[in-house]
Structure 1
Amino acid sequence: MRNLTDKAGGARVSLALGVLAMMVVVASSNFLVTKPIGQWLTWAALTYPFAFLVTDVMNRLHGPAMARRVIWAGFACAVVLSVVLATPRIAFASGTAFLCAQLLDVGVFNRLREGSWWKAPLAASLAGGALDSLLFWVLAFAGATGEDAFPGWPRYGLADWGVKMLITFVTLIPFRLLTAGKIGPREARRV
């Protein structure tokens, strides 16, 4: 009985940590997308790929249901914070792109989870990152005026996507360290 209680308590702690990590990554990225690094990149390109790391670690350790719970809870908290830290349009674009990309990540990860340790997180993060970049940059800045106008956004979006893809490879290191030897429960293998 104690083992069951320990597992349930551990799952709650994991969920809370996953939601907190997701909230920090998304809210900070929504703020940092308005902060250019030169003429090609924003600071968000360096932070946002860690959202896929959070999702993939939760998926590997606790399964797709827990990963989706982190996505939905992190989404709700992050959008509220994003409205404060960024503009409503950026919050909407971020939320839409986030949900679509993260749910795609979970689906791709689960299809590949039985293969080599690196295939599922790499393919899932690359697919999710590409969808996220496309949706976010178009929804946030295409035709935007006023405080949401961001001249040169296609150039920034393309560079941002490229850096996100590069960082996806780098996040394989913490993924391996956090999940080494842990396959997760049998339910985790089902979609």
Structure 2
Amino acid sequence: MTRTHIPGILAMASIVVASNILVQILFGQWLTWGAFTYPFAFLVTDVMNRVYGSRAARKVVLVGFVTGVICSLIGTQINGAFGPLVTLRIAAGSGTAFLVAQMLDVSIFSALRGGRWWRAPLASTLVGSSLDTMLFFFIAFSAQLAWLEPVNDVSWANETLPLLGAGPMVPLWVSLAAADWMVKLSLALVALIPFRLIVAHLTTTRRPG
């Protein structure tokens, strides 16, 4: 890791910390404010990959993972209205989803690096963020994994309700995951603009004068 990687490290750590805080604040019926900040972790990973290579990107991902683990450990010590802000399942789901999805993002980006400029960041983010959503919500809230933390009552998340209030009957956590997934997909498209601008700037500044 070199000094040129520090902005990426700080950006990733800041996004992870902010998302862990904002996930405690509801936005409407299906989302939290953290849903709007966390997807930009993929932007940081992709910029690092494009400008500095996959090795640097993976190191930044590991920084984000460690930061997330620290945030989860702190969250387990803070009690909210219904117990600790972060349960074992939420911590496990968050850490697993982040690490697996981000590393997959790096691999897909690297495989598509030689194509049109938008293909690698878009494809890697769409696949990575979709896996991230699936892993987190299933590990953290599904009834099938209740054995992971028997003392944690997730019956509220498995209440059967119409999907997003209007679709077929599904567990509540599926609606939460669907809303989160749609935000991630939307931001994957929006993030192409800053990706293009940041990469162009960093590439220009790296060239010898």
TM-score (norm 1): 0.82
Which structure has greater helix proportion?
Answer: 1
Runs (5+) with no aligned partner, structure 1: 1-10, 186-191
Which amino acid counterpart does residue 39 of structure 1 have in structure 2? Q
Matches within 5 A, 1:61-140: 61-85=51-75, 86-87=85-86, 88-140=88-140
Q: Distance in 2 between matches of 1:137 and 1:63?
A: 30
Runs (5+) with no aligned partner, structure 2: 76-84, 158-171
- Equivalent residue for 2:9, pick from 6, 15, 19: 19
Matches within 5 A, 1:165-176: 165-176=185-196
Which structure has greater strand proportion?
Answer: 2
2:20/2:71 contact within 8 Å kept: no
Query: Which runs of at least 4 in structure 1 moved beyond 4 Å after TM superposition?
Result: 144-150
CA RMSD of aligned residues (A): 2.2
Bigger relative contact order, structure 1 or 2 (CA pairs below 8 A, ≥6 apart)? 1
TM-superposition CA deviations, 1:142-182 (whole Å, max 9, x none):
23664766532221110110011001100111100011273
The number of residue pairs the alignment matches comes to 174
Match of 1:7 in 2: none
* The structure with more radius of gyration: 2
TM-score (norm 2): 0.75
